[in-house]
């Protein structure tokens, strides 16, 4: 069966403009374009669109999604299972925060005091502070005092909400990589997640050049604090991540034709 652009937009609840953009960037091309220029999408095109939207929801960039979907070893069923696992973690955290809100409202309406710890279920400031300190230590190792101070100044401006967003993104990336360890460090999804990892560092912390990114991988296996922290997501993840980062950097440094 073939679907016109408007039909696909209605089915998937996306805008026609979005579909045109996906076509322009070669992310989702319609299977058929008529002589009159009409785009016609197939059932397999809709399945690809579903994957695009799921990957977007868990934080993948469009260029990384394209690399994943176009990789010869891409497995739709495995991708769906991985997406489900990540969304379940996200759901668990959201439900915990909703429960905290409900208990707080009930406490206000009933005039009863909540246990002080229960006020902050799902909103751990301690985790935020530890994450912030971890990055301060990491930058100091890689750059020295002067640049570390500049980075600390940048991160100190983040609000608690900012840090929760940053940590949730970081957590999602680690889980994405840990979930694919059995496929090897050169796996397409692992490499896409490593790229997202570097982008995350550049966006929120410091300019992470390829040389620095390589050095960061070494820190992850030579500093027990980082090794232990990363391995909480999966046994041996720190060493695996280092290998994946080396492969990523080697590929990025290859001359392009």
User: What count of residues does the chain have?
Assistant: 257
Q: What pLDDT digit, counting tens, does each position of 111-136 carry?
A: 666 665 555 555 554 554 554 455 55
| Predicted pLDDT at 107 | 80
Residues 140 and 27 in one domain: no
Residue 173 inside a domain? The answer is yes
Residue 92 domain-assigned (yes or no)? no
What's the structural domain count of the chain? Answer: 2
> d(Cα 223, Cα 144) in Å, to the nearest integer?
16
Determine, yes or no, domain membership for 27.
yes
Q: pTM of the entire structure? A: 0.49
Residue 86 maps to a domain = no
Provide the residue range defining the domain that includes 242.
124-253
Would you call 117 exposed, middle or buried from its count of C-beta atoms within 10 A (0-12, 13-18, 19+)?
A: exposed
How far is the C-alpha of 26 from the C-alpha of 9, rounded, in Å?
17
**152 and 41 part of one domain:** no
Angle, CA of 186, 187 and 193, to the nearest 5° = 95
> What pLDDT shows up at residue 128?
47
Residues 204 and 154: their CA atoms lie apart, in Å, by 8
Strands of the sheet containing 32-33, edge to edge, are 3-4, 39-41, 32-33
Q: Are residues 139 and 235 in the same domain?
A: yes
Domain match, 48 and 135 both: no
Sequential pLDDT tens for the chain (257 residues) = 899 999 999 999 999 999 999 999 999 999 998 888 888 999 999 999 999 998 887 767 788 788 878 877 777 887 788 778 767 766 776 777 777 777 788 888 876 666 655 555 555 545 545 544 555 565 555 545 555 565 666 666 776 667 777 888 888 899 999 999 999 999 999 999 999 999 888 888 777 888 888 888 888 888 787 888 888 888 999 999 999 999 999 988 877 55
Q: Is residue 199 part of a domain?
A: yes
Same domain, 228 and 141: yes
Looking at the structure, do residues 215 and 140 belong to the same domain, yes or no? Answer: yes
Q: CATH number for the domain including 166?
A: 1.10.490.50
CB 96 within 8 A of CB 74: no
What's the CA gap between 94 and 102, in Å, rounded?
12
Assign residue 21 the CATH number of its domain.
1.10.1660.10
- Whether 48 and 129 map to the same domain: the answer is no
């Amino acid at each position: 069966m073939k679907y016109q652009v408007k039909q696909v937009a209605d089915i998937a609840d996306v805008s026609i403009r979005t579909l045109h953009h996906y076509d322009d960037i070669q992310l989702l091309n319609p299977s058929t374009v008529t002589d009159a220029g009409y785009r016609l999408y197939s059932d397999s095109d809709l399945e690809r669109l579903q994957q695009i939207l799921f990957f977007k929801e868990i934080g993948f960039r469009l260029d990384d999604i394209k690399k994943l979907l176009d990789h010869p070893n891409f497995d739709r069923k495995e991708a769906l299972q991985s997406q489900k696992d990540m969304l379940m973690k996200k759901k668990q955290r959201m439900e915990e925060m909703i429960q905290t809100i409900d208990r707080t409202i009930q406490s206000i309406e009933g005039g009863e005091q909540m246990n002080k710890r229960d006020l902050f279920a799902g909103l751990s400031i301690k985790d935020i502070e530890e994450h912030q300190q971890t990055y301060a230590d990491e930058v100091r190792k890689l750059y020295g005092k002067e640049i570390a101070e500049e980075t600390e100044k940048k991160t100190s401006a983040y609000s608690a909400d900012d840090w929760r967003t940053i940590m949730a993104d970081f957590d999602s990336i680690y889980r994405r990589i840990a979930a694919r360890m059995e496929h090897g460090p050169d796996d397409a999804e692992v490499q896409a997640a490593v790229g997202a990892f570097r982008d995350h560092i550049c966006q929120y912390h410091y300019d992470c050049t390829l040389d620095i990114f390589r050095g960061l991988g070494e820190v992850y296996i030579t500093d027990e604090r980082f090794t232990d922290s990363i391995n909480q997501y999966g046994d041996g993840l720190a060493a695996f991540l280092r290998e994946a980062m080396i492969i990523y950097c080697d590929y990025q440094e290859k001359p392009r034709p």
